[in-house]
Amino acid sequence: MTQAIAEKVNMDALKRAIDEVFYSQIDSTTLYYFQSCVNCKACEVACPFTPTSLHYSPVNKAEISRQLYRYRFSIWGKTIGKVIGGSKKYLTLNEAETMVDYVWHCTNCGACMFVCPMAIDSGALIDLLRQVAFKAGMVPKIYRDIADLEISGKYWDVDFFKNAWNSLISKIKDAIGKEVPLDKKKSEILFYASLYEAMVYPDVLVKVAKILDMLNKDWTFMSKPLGIRPPIGLVIGDKEGAIKVMQRVYSYFTDISPKYVMMTAGGFEYPSLRYTMHETFKVKPTYEVVHVTELLAKWYENNEFEIEPLDEIITWHDPCQLGRRGGVFEAPRVLMKALSKKFKELPSHGVNSFCCSRGGGGCGVPTMVENMAKTLGIAISEDDKKFLDSTIEPLIKAGKIKVNEINKVKAKEVMTGCPVCIESIGFSIDYYHANSQVKHIIDVLADRMKVNKK
């Protein structure tokens, strides 16, 4: 795939992209990430892609951005560095190819930062390269097409999407036995979901609505989704596109003005809509963006409901973006412990949770991406097909580690809070024939909640 992309590379565009990205994004944090790495390679152990090749270790991938940085921002880089090879003004075609390969072997999961003795977020440096690749037109077409659809807002013209969303609303209506509150301003809770979720786990969304109704909450749902999985642009390196989508999301949130925007997905949407969006616009929102487990844990601790426990070993997979990037570790555990006395932690959990290798930058299980493209009428080119196939190996390698951990704690059910984690761990469990199931926590919890009458 990379070869095919490289043949179409506009070298001038690549040079411009390198200049723009590197000159515009330096701040004291990136400066620290650039210059303070001691090349100890401790980060290797955390990355879901190193089982595929040591070339995909965080420090090795980030080195390309360090070389570009050195040329622009360090005296050594401009002088001796040029001679001894530690700095580069631009990239050759081959190097650009390698860069593209590397950026699609990073999910921006953040695991490397926590294990790095210097706390360097290599994912952030690889993200800069992803932005370069995007600006230079080196993003796999299939991702760009899906992102473009989201940015333009034209996803709503796609019958398949419209039907999926409308059918979700009627399922919710059937489940709660009354009209679904839609776009209701000043509700306490805005139940936020994306089109992607409506397609991959509509039942989970229906159950969330049922819980809100059961608990008699003042809530509202969205008559139309705000994107396919907003802001997809952030994942493919399209910052400007992401800003457009975030503007749409922010203005809807502000218009509804709830107390909480509650999300079911704990993937990249969570930190993006909770932190990045407001940091980018420099606004202090009047609402708080939370994951469904955060609200439920609070209500559970307030005795609003009880949980009928299961009698089996269950475990929790911390989604990278909800946990490491989002800071939510405790709330799901409050619920998990109530769900079973036999709750066990995976050997890698919390800040060291091992990434399923699919999230931001892994962009889902390839078969699912292909299916989505097909339903959208996006042609899958030979290059795209090759690219998607190349993403299978890391999924299988990282999946092995995940499945071994699940087997080690003998968990019957793995619960989590992110659609992509469910998909990819599900894939690995099937692939390795593990005796376990993976579900969204709501899937199990909703059926075991008993509301306490006040």
Q: Which residues bind ligand SF4 (CB under 6 A)?
A: 37-43, 46-49, 58-59, 61, 106-112, 116, 118, 120, 122-123, 126, 355
Q: Which of 1, 14, 17, 59 binds another protein (CB under 8 A)?
A: 59
- Residue 274: CB partners within 8 Å, gap ≥ 6? 289, 290, 326
Q: Per CB under 8 A, which region of 8-16, 313-321, 329-337, 373-381 contacts another protein?
A: 329-337
Which residue, 199, 123, 141, 132, is CA-closest to 167?
199
DSSP of 210-236, one letter per residue? Answer: HHHHHTT--EEB-SS-S-SSS-HHHHH
Q: Which of 11, 54, 93, 182 binds another protein (CB under 8 A)?
A: 54
Angle (CA) 449 293 412, round 5°: 70
CA atoms of 106 and 125, how far apart (whole Å): 11
Task: Please state the closest distance from residue 25 (CB atom) to another protein, in A.
Answer: 10
Q: Biggest alpha carbon distance in the chain?
A: 75
Instruction: From the list another protein, ligand SF4, none, pick the one residue 58 interacts with, judged by a Cβ distance below 5 to 8 Å according to partner type.
Output: ligand SF4
Task: Please state the closest distance from residue 107 (CB atom) to another protein, in A.
Answer: 18
Q: Are 73 and 81 in contact (CB under 8 A)?
A: no
Tokens read off for 451: 């509301």
H-only helix segments in 104-158: 111-115, 122-135, 141-152
Q: What are phi and psi of 252, to 5 degrees?
A: -70, -45
Q: How many residues bind another protein (CB under 8 A)?
A: 60
Which is closer to another protein, CB of 289 or CB of 372?
289
Which residue, 200, 231, 244, is CA-closest to 360?
231
Instruction: From the list another protein, ligand SF4, none, pick the one residue 106 interacts with, judged by a Cβ distance below 5 to 8 Å according to partner type.
Output: ligand SF4
User: How many CB atoms lie under 10 A from the CB of residue 126?
Assistant: 25
Task: Please state the closest distance from residue 325 (CB atom) to ligand SF4, in A.
Answer: 10
Instruction: From the list another protein, ligand SF4, none, pick the one residue 182 interacts with, judged by a Cβ distance below 5 to 8 Å according to partner type.
Output: none
Q: Which of 11, 31, 93, 451 binds another protein (CB under 8 A)?
A: 31
Q: Which of residues 261-320 bind another protein (CB under 8 A)?
A: 275, 278-279, 282-285, 288, 290, 294-295, 297-298
- Residue 337: CB partners within 8 Å, gap ≥ 6? 343
Task: Please state the closest distance from residue 182 (CB atom) to another protein, in A.
Answer: 25
Which is closer to another protein, CB of 44 or CB of 423?
44
Which residue, 324, 307, 232, is CA-closest to 273?
232
Beta strand extents in 331-436 (DSSP E only): 343-344, 413-416
Instruction: From the list ligand SF4, another protein, none, pick the one residue 324 interacts with, judged by a Cβ distance below 5 to 8 Å according to partner type.
Output: another protein
Closest residue to ligand SF4 in the complex (CB): 123
Which is closer to ligand SF4, CB of 130 or CB of 135?
130
Which residue, 156, 136, 155, is CA-closest to 147?
155
CA atoms of 40 and 55, how far apart (whole Å): 15
Tokens read off for 175: 């489940």
Instruction: From the list ligand SF4, another protein, none, pick the one residue 418 interacts with, judged by a Cβ distance below 5 to 8 Å according to partner type.
Output: none
Instruction: From the list another protein, ligand SF4, none, pick the one residue 47 interacts with, judged by a Cβ distance below 5 to 8 Å according to partner type.
Output: ligand SF4
Q: Which of residues 85-124 bind another protein (CB under 8 A)?
A: 85-86, 113-120
Tokens read off for 48: 């879901």
Task: Please state the closest distance from residue 49 (CB atom) to ligand SF4, in A.
Answer: 6
User: How many CB atoms lie under 10 A from the CB of residue 405?
Assistant: 20
Task: Please state the closest distance from residue 401 (CB atom) to ligand SF4, in A.
Answer: 13
Please report, as ranges, the residues that interact with another protein according to CB under 8 A: 26-29, 31-32, 35-42, 44-46, 54-55, 57, 59-60, 63, 76, 80-81, 84-86, 113-120, 260, 275, 278-279, 282-285, 288, 290, 294-295, 297-298, 324, 326-331, 351-352
